[in-house]
Homo-oligomer: A and B are copies of this chain.
Amino acid sequence: MYIRNAWYVAGWASEFGQELTSVTVLEQRLVMYRTNATTVVALEDRCPHRLLPLSKGKRIGDDIQCGYHGMTFNCSGACIRVPGQDNVPSSAYVRAYPVEQRNDIVFVWMGDAEKANTDLIFDMPEFTSPQWHVHQGDALHLKAHYLNVAENLVDPAHVSFVHPTTLGNAASENVPVHVDTQGDVLVAWRWIRDAEPVGFFQKFGGFSGNVDRWHYYYLHLPSIAVIDFGSASSELNLEEQDRNQGVRIFALHFLTPVNEHYTIDRWLHIRNTAVDDEAASEQMDAMFRIAFNEDKEILEAIDEQEQLPQSRKPIRLAIDKGPTVYRRRIRDMAEQEATEDLGEPLHPTFVHHE
């Protein structure tokens, strides 16, 4: 189950250059490259003649020449040359996907091209604010379904158990979770008041006494997560809207569903502390890598189990509110995509009288 009408991250800007690069998103194989004008292009990576991936061919200026018989396509996917004949058959084209680069991230639109609205591309003002430091992390590859990976990113309850040495500790085990929906964004959050700082904030907050700690999980449907977490001295008794007064970090996760058992999670972080301190960035990367590999181990083990025969239905708990709302929204979006073009029936079979 994929949502197609959405901007997905195809890669960091640095992943794309003049050379032909093959990228798979929602099981579609794309060939991507920068034109001489440095804009990024994404075409269907399969020649319509004998199915050779075009990424095995070569560039002729801004066009791609297939590596088998030389059919050549321009960057809007139109065939401009068939060696051995003068005419070009009308079926000789490859699909072109809308692409947009923003904040050093390359987004690709996987649905109907006419619905590709660049206003919908994920952004936040901290990317370009001098008070904040942006640092790109890694591309974590997980043998897991993107719905399970995303669910994990709107699930504060796992932190105490999966990340006890970095992002959580026992203080939060029984603290209730709030969940809300704001348009296409789900939010799950909780505050742990007056507790020992967790590993991360011991290291980067410089706190000596107890802190108030928050976790806000914003899930931008279908698959971009912003985890806003931070700590402030408990003496401040910080209000929700004053989080910038504490040590605050946004961990962003851009999930790219490759197929139903493979997801790439490109993550970066934005912080209001240690701005321009590259050593701090690297220490944070190291800590995040520990934490995210803890998630990876669990998510891959679950993917394996989900593929085995099941003898009973999984159970749902009170802490599942975020994941449950998330899955319901995804089902609704998929349903809407599958039906949105039908329109009203001319002669309805069933008429509802109120």
Contact = CB atoms under 8 A, between A and B. Distances in A.
A177 B53 CA distance: 25
A49 B317 contact: yes
A68 B174 CA distance: 14
Nearest to A53: B301
A49 B315 contact: yes
Interface in A177-215: 177
The range of chain A's interface size is: 35 or more
A49 B314 contact: yes
A83 interface: yes
A113 to B, nearest CB: 15
Contact of A314 (B50, B69, B176, B177): B50
A84 B319 contact: yes
A298 interface: yes
A104 interface: no
A111 interface: no
Interface stretch (A85-93, A121-129, A240-248, A336-344): A85-93
Contact of A176 (B67, B84, B315): B84
A317 B82 contact: yes
Interface stretch (A34-42, A134-142, A155-163, A274-282): A155-163
Contacts of A56: 297-298, 301
A48 B305 CA distance: 11
Instruction: Name the residue among A50, A92, A317, A318 with the largest chain B CB count within 10 angstroms.
Output: A50
B52 A301 contact: yes
A46 B305 contact: yes
A51 interface: yes
Nearest to A71: B317
A92 B174 CA distance: 18
Contact of A48 (B85, B158, B306, B315): B315
Contact of A67 (B157, B162, B313, B314): B162
Contacts of A161: 65-70, 83
Contacts of A70: 160-161, 173
A85 B315 CA distance: 14
B157 A69 contact: yes
B48 A312 contact: yes
A292 B315 CA distance: 45
Nearest to A66: B161
Contacts of A51: 302, 305-306, 314
Contacts of A301: 52-53, 56
Nearest to A151: B50
Given A48-B314, A52-B305, 9 more contacts: A46-B305, A56-B298, A66-B161, A67-B161, A68-B158, A68-B162, A84-B176, A85-B317, A89-B317
22 contacts: A49-B314, A49-B315, A51-B305, A51-B306, A52-B301, A56-B297, A56-B298, A67-B162, A68-B158, A68-B162, A69-B161, A71-B317, A82-B317, A83-B160, A83-B319, A84-B157, A84-B176, A84-B318, A85-B319, A89-B315, A89-B317, A92-B315
